[in-house]
Structure 1
């Protein structure tokens, strides 16, 4: 009997040692598989980054910079993957030309709107009037796209210069010029960057001061006569024989604050310059109806041009905004933004900083 018990004890002891070895082996195997999975994922990201660099013509000074940019790229890839997993999104984000930039870098290089807290005493704008105030629902269409009416030039690219304020105001002037004259002409943003001394070129500017410059100087010249250079260290060429003004405006008005209804009336009549908060989700926006999930609404830093509005088949009202980040961003350079939201400042503050020129 004792011998039998000893045999059972030895068997149990052996099995316990065997199980321990098995668990160790399984643990090592699982750990190796996790390491392999991470390695494969890392290698896949490296390949993705290389392909992305080739697609956008991106080069780096050395391996140190490349490694830094790769880590930022990985973070943006993770953001995109996690964002698009969320259910009930009305838009998606994607890896685009901004994918190796931090948000701080992106804001520094590719935005540039400054907000006017109060109108200056010398302002030519009519802050206390709104020419479309008396329009009713019956006076405005249920949807409009100023591109289809020939009032919108091709999407432009501010490139690595904080001159969105110039692009937005120029697009609004291009629109009202076509509406009143029947002629669409691409106008010069570089003239504003070089010559609007109350603004700061690639370091940002005000929509209001852009319009005021155009009024004071009796117009803008064409893009062809004064092409964009994405730099602000050039002398103003106005006054030379090469520059002839192509259009004029007589004033501008700001859309009443916190009113998407007022904004609708204005956009129904002409393209409107609009401020918006630029966030990570806008940076990487790909398509759909943008709702600005990461916006506070209190940090408007970028300017776009509203060139229409409409309603999707599933009933979402939206604004159609022309951006200045090139045609390879968003929906061929455009973003559709959710309209008629509960927030009084609108999605990402779009109802807090809107203005339009008057001819």
Structure 2
């Protein structure tokens, strides 16, 4: 009832057992956190009724380009009620692979960017860039949400006003550049599409439906135009910090596969099992402190700290610096 979920009678008992098993793991983890064994806690959120290897999670995690290096791009089919947590996340985290990188010479390609005078801590939310909670639902559209939110942040940086833009436009219309709608997409392909399409419409004019439909883009209704874009040097935390400070929020790839990531509640996420070797999801980095990246996710405000995560810095945790990109308006 808490998460407004109903099940077929044949699945009710199975889902309850899964939820109880996950609740046991959550309670065990949180008990260990209280005595200092973990720097973060977990919560029985709306993903807690999924078994640990779940097709639905596999589906929403299809962001194949997120990593420029995703090891396995396979699309996982699933059947209702038989999904593991990993499969469910893969459904949301569908980032597709990109084999090319374009480095932003004006920002991080030059030899002097290490000497740039940037703040030690920065949180764009504290500067007024506060966006509403977003939920990608049963659609592998993280690539669209990440790029759109990063552009919203840059627009806010320039104008001081927040304009909600349309991820649905990207889901519907960027297939011409190699994206797959709700079956996944890539940061690079999304930026290529926006550079050539003529701009982005607002979310009110082109609302999110969590399913791919006919492209309804109207160039005369765009409110922002992309003139160029670039990808940061791989695994370079200083470059990411510089980009956030000078450009605004930055879209980035991440490994969202660990069960602890999916059930994250609060604290600094620092799970040793969250490998940096491969990534499968896209988020936006909205700020940083001396030891933490501040991320916005698309799994509703029931996940994390009202939809945000604090991620440990200085170790490329979960591959957060493997593939990060920004646009120029």
Q: Which has the higher helix share?
A: 1
The residue that corresponds to 1:194 in the other structure is 172
Q: How many Å apart are 1:82 and its aligned residue?
A: 2.4
The residue that corresponds to 1:231 in the other structure is 211
The residue that corresponds to 1:326 in the other structure is 300
C-alpha separation in 2, matches of 1:277 and 1:286: 17
Asked if structure 1 preserves the Cα contact closer than 8 Å seen for 2:98 and 2:186, the reply is no
C-alpha separation in 2, matches of 1:340 and 1:357: 25
What whole-Å deviation, never above 9, does each CA across 1:69-97 have from its counterpart, x for those lacking one? 11221221122122223343110111111
Asked if structure 1 preserves the Cα contact closer than 8 Å seen for 2:284 and 2:296, the reply is yes
The residue that corresponds to 2:148 in the other structure is 170
- Asked whether 1:246 is paired with 2:192, we answer no
Q: Provide closer, same or farther for how the CA distance between residues 130 and 277 of structure 1 changes in structure 2, counting only shifts above 3 A.
A: farther
The residue that corresponds to 2:46 in the other structure is 97
Asked if structure 2 preserves the Cα contact closer than 8 Å seen for 1:157 and 1:325, the reply is yes
1:296 is paired with a residue of what secondary structure?
A: coil
The partner residue of 1:258 within 230, 235, 238 is 235
Asked if structure 2 preserves the Cα contact closer than 8 Å seen for 1:280 and 1:294, the reply is no
- Asked whether 1:337 is paired with 2:311, we answer yes
The residue that corresponds to 1:142 in the other structure is 120
Instruction: Tell me: higher relative CO, structure 1 or 2? Use CA pairs within 8 A at least 6 residues apart.
Output: 2
The partner residue of 2:274 within 290, 295, 303 is 295
The residue that corresponds to 1:353 in the other structure is 323
Q: How many Å apart are 1:355 and its aligned residue?
A: 0.7
What whole-Å deviation, never above 9, does each CA across 1:18-66 have from its counterpart, x for those lacking one? xxxxxxxxxxxxxxxxxxxxxxxxxxxxxxxxxxxx111110122x211
The residue that corresponds to 1:184 in the other structure is 162
C-alpha separation in 2, matches of 1:91 and 1:137: 33
The residue that corresponds to 2:57 in the other structure is 107
The partner residue of 1:131 within 88, 95, 107 is 107
C-alpha separation in 1, matches of 2:106 and 2:136: 30
2:306 is paired with a residue of what secondary structure?
A: coil
The residue that corresponds to 1:40 in the other structure is none
The residue that corresponds to 1:156 in the other structure is 134
Asked if structure 1 preserves the Cα contact closer than 8 Å seen for 2:64 and 2:98, the reply is no
The residue that corresponds to 1:274 in the other structure is 252
The residue that corresponds to 1:207 in the other structure is 187
Asked if structure 2 preserves the Cα contact closer than 8 Å seen for 1:281 and 1:293, the reply is no
2:221 is paired with a residue of what secondary structure?
A: coil
Count of equivalent residues: 290
2:325 is paired with a residue of what secondary structure?
A: strand
Q: Provide closer, same or farther for how the CA distance between residues 245 and 136 of structure 1 changes in structure 2, counting only shifts above 3 A.
A: same
Q: How many Å apart are 1:216 and its aligned residue?
A: 0.6
Give the unaligned 5+ runs of structure 1.
Answer: 1-53, 312-316
Q: Provide closer, same or farther for how the CA distance between residues 130 and 284 of structure 1 changes in structure 2, counting only shifts above 3 A.
A: farther
TM-score by length of 2: 0.83
Q: How many Å apart are 1:127 and its aligned residue?
A: 2.8
C-alpha separation in 2, matches of 1:199 and 1:91: 34
Q: Provide closer, same or farther for how the CA distance between residues 119 and 335 of structure 1 changes in structure 2, counting only shifts above 3 A.
A: closer
C-alpha separation in 2, matches of 1:195 and 1:152: 27
Asked if structure 1 preserves the Cα contact closer than 8 Å seen for 2:253 and 2:322, the reply is yes
Q: How many Å apart are 1:201 and its aligned residue?
A: 1.2
Q: Which has the larger radius of gyration?
A: 1
Q: How many Å apart are 1:128 and its aligned residue?
A: 6.2
TM-score by length of 1: 0.76
Q: Provide closer, same or farther for how the CA distance between residues 130 and 102 of structure 1 changes in structure 2, counting only shifts above 3 A.
A: farther
The residue that corresponds to 1:310 in the other structure is 289
